[in-house]
Structure 1
Amino acid sequence: MDQILQAVTGSEMLSMLDGFSGYNQVEVDTVDQHKTAFTTPWGTFAYKRMPFGLINAGATFQRAMDLAFG
């Protein structure tokens, strides 16, 4: 991630907030959403976007950034 940030240093339109909000934009494939399900007293829910804490979430986000920045 540090290499990517160095590569875009000097860009007028990029901020760290872009990176943090971008992490929450990675979609979970619909066939895998049931794997992120959790139950509360109000019902059962599943993530549609990549939540923090998944084992491969960081690597998946890094791959997306590598593809985006080239």
Structure 2
Amino acid sequence: MNQCTNYYVVFVDNVRYIMKFFSSFTKNVYEKYLKDICEKYSKDIYEKYSKDICERFSKFLAIFDNVAIICIAKS
């Protein structure tokens, strides 16, 4: 199973930017975009942060320094 199915990690420079950026996308568009990023960059951070956070929230945006963890619940 792909560990990135529901947990996505994005590197960002600005919290306001990431929130505005993703609010401008439809669910399908940003899921595909985030999945691509997740598969390339997120393994270590996923293991450290996102699983624990996403198990508590169906949707959540967490900022760790310049890293955003975004959870998208299964429909």
Fold conserved between structures, TM > 0.5: no
- More strand per residue: 1 or 2? 2
Give TM-score scaled by structure 1 length.
Answer: 0.29
Give TM-score scaled by structure 2 length.
Answer: 0.28
Larger Rg: 1
